[in-house]
Structure 1
Amino acid sequence: MLTKNNAKFIKSLQLKKFRQKEALFIVEGEKNTLELLNSAYKVKTILGSEQFLSDNHLIISKAGAETIEVTDKQLASLGSFKSNDKALAVVHIPTEPTYERRGIQLVLDDIRDPGNLGTIIRIADWYGIKSIICSETTAELFNPKTISASMGSIFRINVFRRNLEGFFKEQSGIAVYGALLNGDNIHKTKFDKEAYIVIGNESNGIRETLLSFIEHPITIPKLGGAESLNAAMATAIICDNIFREA
């Protein structure tokens, strides 16, 4: 049974300060919750409709989480999804994994929009990229909008938060590509199999303090009249070119 105190606590996790204080975040919707249950994340509580809890009894029991049956109205009131009528989970924020320098990795410089971040995580998952390094000013990983936009990919990608200037000073022997307005045509660029791909802020691009680390500036040729591409669109185009001949 859902108590008023439980409901109040879960609603509080919509706010970053409470997520950080409690080291918990919420996952909303049937798809994301099922993706969560198939991951290594530790689940504290599953709230679901009678049908959801019944249909997924085995995988929920394996998670060892508290389960609470709730109504459609209660689910809609607890999270940010007004159309959620299946499930919501309260999840422990994991410790950051050990960093491994391997393959193609995305580096996100000041990506402020959580929806963009979540979509980039989903793109990385599609192309088999295992790690993303985020600047300290990039959107919070466990923002509900980030989780929603990732469509479950957040549970398969290692995401690290770093001071990027310090991070690049520690790296050597690996190519660094950066998405810039004045760069080499990405359609004619041959990418190393191990590389960092730097994607800049939605409005301002890559910070000037990082430009000295970029050995290979790249650009997506503009053929029409659009003023710009958002960060997620640009990331998808770049990734497709990187892996086109993989």
Structure 2
Amino acid sequence: MPLTNNDRKLYADLDRAKTRREHGLFMAEGTKCVLDTIGHFEVRSLCATDKWLAIHGHEIPHQVEIITVKRNELERMSHLSTAPEVVAIYRIPQYTIDTEMLSPGITLLLDRVQDPGNLGTIIRIADWYGVRQIICSPDTTDVWGPKVVQSTMGAISRVKCHYTPLPDFISEHRGIPVYGTFLDGDNIYSCRLTETAMIVMGNEGQGISPEVEQAVSRRLLIPSYPPGAPTSESLNVGMATAITLSEFRRNLLE
């Protein structure tokens, strides 16, 4: 089945959140990203070159519709600086929050995280540390954007992101400790952390919003080293997430 001009235009426009919402579609690009996600989402179509199919065609489920395309067609659809030899178009899944995973367990809350690369990295970090769902504020960047999907390195297949107002979500689940990182918090390395927790990570430039900060019950500090020495103003939100989750998991092993 050939690729139509309408489909080509639609796929090229999937870098726009409005288009993704209207059509309920998102794109995965490149061999690793496609092979890591192909069995986890409903496929609308898979576009690949003859060269790619000769090498990897046997790894694609038989029921998947495959469209053979030229490299220049992929260049017109791709959102990467160098076009790959395969892209998969998936239908966006409809998730519901699994409340049974909240306790016991760690739930990551993202407050207005804007950079797609940061969100993708955080999803990848969450996957590494066994966090299976992330609650995002409505103004956090869209998880189904091409840059986010690409930077998750396949973790988007295992970590589910939900969008809802964080103050309301926290209020609905009172009794679970809510942690956040601040410059005036308690040293994370000397705190006794709980097995069940909500961990809030804030906006890249402004941190945790005042509305969400009011709901934080335990303020943490990731200290610089050595104490008092001049350092960078702050940590990247992805780096801060990795340090925080690592420390929570380390506490469970003690």
TM-score by length of 2: 0.91
Which of 222, 230, 235 in structure 2 is aligned with 1:229?
235
Q: CA deviation at 1:83?
A: 2.0
Query: Are the counterparts in 2 of residues 177 and 217 from structure 1 also a CA contact under 8 Å?
Result: yes
- Once residues 98 and 195 of structure 1 are traced to their aligned partners in structure 2, the CA distance between those partners, rounded to angstroms, is 16
CA contact (8 A) 2:14 2:146 kept: no
Aligned residue number for residue 118 of structure 1: 120
User: How much has 1:15 moved relative to structure 2?
Assistant: 1.4
SS at match of 2:124: helix
Match of 2:214?
Answer: 212
Q: Provide the residue aligned with 1:46 in structure 2.
A: 46
Matches within 5 A, 1:129-208: 129-208=131-210
Uncovered stretches (5+) of structure 1, i.e. residues with no partner: none
Deviation at 1:74, TM superposition (A): 2.0
- Whole-angstrom distance in 2 between the partners of 1:164 and 1:14: 26
* 2:213 alignment partner, SS class: helix
Q: Deviations over 1:93-149 (max 9, x none)?
A: 111134222411110001011111111000000111111100011001111111111
- Counterpart in the other structure of 1:82: 81
**8 A Cα contact 2:204 2:237, kept in partner:** yes
Q: Which moved more, 1:121-130 or 1:185-194?
A: 185-194
Match of 2:250 in 1: 244
Who is 1:29 aligned against?
A: 30
Instruction: Give the aligned partner of residue 56 of structure 1.
Output: 56
**Equivalent residue pairs, number:** 244
Equivalent-residue separation in structure 1 for 2:85 and 2:128 (angstroms): 26
Deviates more, 1:101-110 or 1:5-14: 5-14
Q: CA deviation at 1:175?
A: 1.2
Question: Structure 1 CA distance, aligned partners of 2:33 and 2:192?
Answer: 36
Displacement of 1:205 after TM fit?
Answer: 0.8
Residues 97, 158 of structure 1: 8 Å contact kept: no
Taking the aligned partners of 1:65 and 1:132, their CA distance within structure 2 comes to 29
* Residue aligned with 1:132, SS: strand
Q: 1:98 to 1:202 in 2, by over 3 A?
A: closer
Q: 1:7 aligns to what?
A: 8
Between 144-153 and 82-91, the greater mean CA deviation after superposition: 82-91
Given the alignment, which residue of 120, 127, 130 partners 1:128? 130
Q: Shift of residue 79 of structure 1?
A: 1.3
SS of residue in 1 equivalent to 2:135: strand
Q: Give 1:201 shift.
A: 0.8
Task: Kindly provide the amino acid, as one letter, of the partner of residue 105 in structure 1.
Answer: T
Q: Which residues of structure 2 form unaligned runs of 5+?
A: none
- % of aligned pairs identical? 36
Instruction: Give the letter aligned to residue 24 of structure 2.
Output: A
User: What one-letter code is carried by the residue in structure 2 that aligns with 1:241?
Assistant: E
Structure 1 position 76, deviation (Å): 2.2
Q: Distance in 2 between matches of 1:181 and 1:200?
A: 13
